[in-house]
A and B are shown apart, each in its own frame.
Chain A
Amino acid sequence: MKDFLLGLAFMAAGAIVYLVAQQFPTMPSLQYGPSLFPSLIGGGFMIGGLILAISHVGALKGIGHGMTWRMEREQLRNTLLSLLPALAIVFYILTSEWLGALLSLALVMFVLMLARRTPPLLALGVSLVAALIVDLLFSRYLLIPLPEGLMSIWG
């Protein structure tokens, strides 16, 4: 079932890529322009997606015959938990400018450690020390301009 849906998703993505590619300008001296490769890739997505969907069309027949496609509670929970690192990155992107990289990273690590049932005190200690090391390594040693945010008060 998942492969069938992924096949459809690739077909849709292929159609979008193909349509967007048609708007790229062509070169007067050559019959092949900047749209050639993206168009071929879009076409490839549609063909590959179609093959993937067709080869898993049997899953749909199973649903028609009374089989249901349902996510179990455990599976749903695991899927949601797997999104945690992605959400943590979004949190960092949104908050690092005013909180500063150091605090944002420490918060991200602390919450992620708690999510896997690390004892809170240990999680807090490790998060703070690790954030300090990462910040020192990148902003002081490698001279990366990580956002300072609130920490700029201390200069």
Chain B
Amino acid sequence: MDAFLQGLALVFNFQTLLVIIGAAIFGVFVGAVPGLTATMAVALLVPITFYMDPTPAIAAIVTTSAMAIFAGDIPGTYLNIPGTPASAAYVGESHQLARQGRARETLGTNLVCSMFGGLFGTLVLVFVSPSLAEVALKFSSFEYFWLALLGLSCSIFISIGSKTKAFLSLLVGLLLSTVGLDMMSGAPRFTFGIPDLMAGVNFIPVMIGMFALNELMMFYGSRNEGRNVPAVHKDEVFSSVPKHLKRYWRNLLRGSSTGTLIGALPGAGADIAAWISYAMGKSRSKNRDAYGTGHIEGIVDASSANNSGISGAWVPALVFGIPGDSITAIVIGVLYMKGMNPGPTIFMDGGGLIYALFIVFFIANLIMLPIGYIAIRSAKVFILTPRKILMPIILCFCIVGAFAINNTITDVWIMLITGSVAFILARNDFPMAPAILGLVLGGTLENNFMSSMLKSNGDLLSFFSRPISASLGAMVILIWFLPLFIRLYRRYRGAPQSPRTP
């Protein structure tokens, strides 16, 4: 009880509440400007949170990400351009509704569904994480090795598009994680005689490079300013929401639970949660034909799923230190910087901090309602913000933000190089999430492998000698061979193969 009261005191003070409101406005702005993603917002925020106390720092990240995911629906509805990738799944649906003069009604439904999804995911986080942490306390380096490998494997098999590209993207991240002094022998690796690289590649400049500089380069490489705004509609924001929720409450629950589950899988973020929930909603709907013509049912599923995915991603991040998506990959780094080492012990020795984190999640999702309402009413301001003026300012924040981490220009070079590589890869449809997970989990994977090897005198079979370790190992192997099993099963059942072109 004392810890809970401490948590309340950490959140309900002037500084933290001011940070939450500021972060909410920042999140709405970044989310609502097409081309600026929620991950980019968080990456840009990290250098500033660096100088805050742990609670306001975490509050800023949680609130920004939740708001940005909702606000991504605003340009999606009005312009048919998703503000963040998480809104892409149902952007067609929302825009069709806007063309029917129902833009505000659509965004109002989006807002309430987003809030519900976020709160649902938070409840799962609050009730599931501590129980999972008790199991995680029994874990040793063998289990953590398998867990990291499980996360990395999931990031490949869940990714959309070419698995080879996802695999290569993951290896880029893993390679970056090997830079610096080796933990076991102290030997320098890929440091090229640069002293700043001895401690390894800092993940924040990499994040800024991969998510902000990459987007900036994309923007300058295209001529699309995206400012043709149709007439803003005069329908009411919330008047039809109760009717929609009464009719589609099953979709709301299904979208939220699917989103939380998918968010918790490493490598799968809010965007994949939205795509899968949209597809699921469509396949189970009685009005399947109405999808794509401006049908509110598809929006209910997907917009609750992307916000619940954000909260769900925190479950493995807090309990195991394994990020559920790119945003929690950044968060793990911030938690370490703030002395809140992610892992099961965070629930034991965190004092009021862990309760403060849970409370922040509730506030971030509740504050979405008033600030989201204002954002919907003033949608035109966000959409009309000229990106040709905004993008150069963002570039300056990238430069100074990367420099601010260690006060060294090496980090600006790292941002430049990783951003340029990410630009080439992203333009050729390589997913970025596996690279980030590779960078964050690379050290965990290698260090746990090496310490396990030291414990067992180099016996590889020891990875299967403990029950939990063996089960996790079996799961990893199953994931690797799953595509093969599915193919063999289809062949056995005589399912039609995709036609081959000569």
Contacts and interface: CB of A to CB of B under 8 A. Distances in A.
A65 interface: no
Given A93-B413, A112-B391, A45 B168 contact: yes
Interface string A40-75: 010011001101100100000000000000000000
Interface residues of A, number: 61
B454 interface: yes
A32 B453 contact: yes
B392 A108 contact: yes
A31 B453 CA distance: 9
B308 to A, nearest CB: 33
What is the size category of the interface that chain B forms with chain A? 35 or more
Contact of A134 (B168, B388, B391, B396): B396
B412 A113 contact: no
Given A37-B178, A142-B48, A85 B395 contact: yes
A78 B190 contact: no
A72 to B, nearest CB: 14
Interface of B: 47-48, 50-51, 162, 164-165, 167-168, 171, 174-175, 178, 182, 184-185, 187, 189-190, 213, 216-218, 220-223, 225, 386, 388-389, 391-393, 395-400, 403-404, 407, 409, 412-413, 415-416, 419-420, 423-424, 428, 442, 445-446, 449-450, 453-454, 458
Contacts of B190: 20, 38
Interface of chain A, helix or strand or loop or mixed? Answer: helix
Contacts of A83: 217, 220
Given A6-B428, A33-B185, A116-B388, A52 B168 contact: yes
B220 A81 contact: yes
Contacts of A112: 220, 391-392, 395
Given A83-B217, A92-B412, A117-B388, 10 more contacts: A10-B168, A31-B458, A32-B449, A33-B184, A34-B185, A81-B220, A85-B220, A93-B413, A112-B220, A115-B220
A82 B221 contact: yes
12 contacts: A27-B184, A27-B185, A29-B454, A37-B446, A38-B175, A45-B171, A83-B217, A89-B412, A116-B388, A134-B393, A134-B396, A146-B403
Contacts of A30: 184, 450, 453-454, 458
